[in-house]
Amino acid sequence: MSADRPRTRTSGRLALIAGVGALLAVAVAAFAVWFVFFSSSAPGGATIHRAAGVLESPSAAASASATPGSSGAGPGSSSGSGTANGVSGTWTVDTSVGSFADYTSAWAGFRVNEVLQQIGDAEAIGRTPDVSGQLVIDGSTLQTGTISVDLTTIHSNQSRRDPAIQRSLQTGSFPMATFELTKPVDFGAVPAEGQTVTVDATGNLTIHGTTRELTIPLQAQVVNGHIAVVGSAPLTFTDFGITMPTAPVVVSVEDDGTIEFQLFFTRS
């Protein structure tokens, strides 16, 4: 009997070592999946202070002074395209400001939470710089506004998500998303240079061939002959007939997310 005890203890230790090794292997595999596929952290949302900071740069000011219809005043002047002559007129999305590489350009997109196998919660974003549109302002009132977003060029903070995003949005059939203002927006007064204006914009949002009314809280500033606008609003993607993307390592993706954007406008 005594001769069997060392063997039993040895077998037990080997089993324990094997179990610990298996757990470590699973942990390493889970980390590897996370690192390879989902390690890019999601950037923060747009803020009006960050957007205004982009417009305060010398390059943005120089661009404003060269805008057709401006007075040709030097950088930093509000003449022509600034608030000295008001903000009435037609303003067009300006994609020449900043860089999409660090999200200082105009962009639009979404933010959503997902659950990954053996990892837990993660946050995913998708953004595109391919945004176009116009605003028509009369005095202190935004009369009309239309924004179009090219969904075929949406990029996630992790590129391996991109094919699944394109499949879910069915961009081959529904390449564009649009938002069209349905009610005028009253600023209360003509915005002063550098003043943050906070308003709600109500309009029709069309995604995936489905149109629904949506009210989006906005913040805006006039800076160096541009208008910066940022906003975000909660959205239930399945309300637009969108099937949330799946992948072998993804347990679930929430139906509820956020649409968000940062836009720059110059007077046409």
CB 187 within 8 A of CB 199: yes
Pairwise CA distance, residues 173 & 243, whole Å:
14
Residues 30 and 61 in one domain: no
Pairwise CA distance, residues 122 & 43, whole Å:
12
- Structural domain boundaries, residue 91: 41-267
CB atoms closer than 10 angstroms to residue 264: 26
The more confidently predicted of residues 2 and 34 is: 2
Pairwise CA distance, residues 153 & 162, whole Å:
9
Residues 156 and 182 in one domain: yes
Q: pLDDT tens-digit profile of 35-59?
A: 334 445 678 999 999 999 999 977 6
Please state which of the ranges 38-52, 176-190, 194-208 shows the lowest mean pLDDT.
38-52
Q: pLDDT tens-digit profile of 123-138?
A: 788 999 999 999 999 9
Residues 20 and 49 in one domain: no
The CATH number of the domain where 187 resides is what? Answer: 2.40.128.110
**What phi-psi label fits residue 208: left (phi over 0), alpha (psi between -120 and 50 degrees) or beta?**
left
Mean pLDDT over all residues of the chain? 79
Alpha carbon separation from 130 to 89, 106, 236 (Å, rounded): 23, 8, 23
Closest by CA position to 199, among listed 210, 188, 209: 188
pTM: 0.76
Residues 20 and 65 in one domain: no
Residues 7 and 87 in one domain: no
Residues 172 and 221 in one domain: yes
Please state which of the ranges 57-61, 101-105, 238-242 shows the lowest mean pLDDT.
57-61
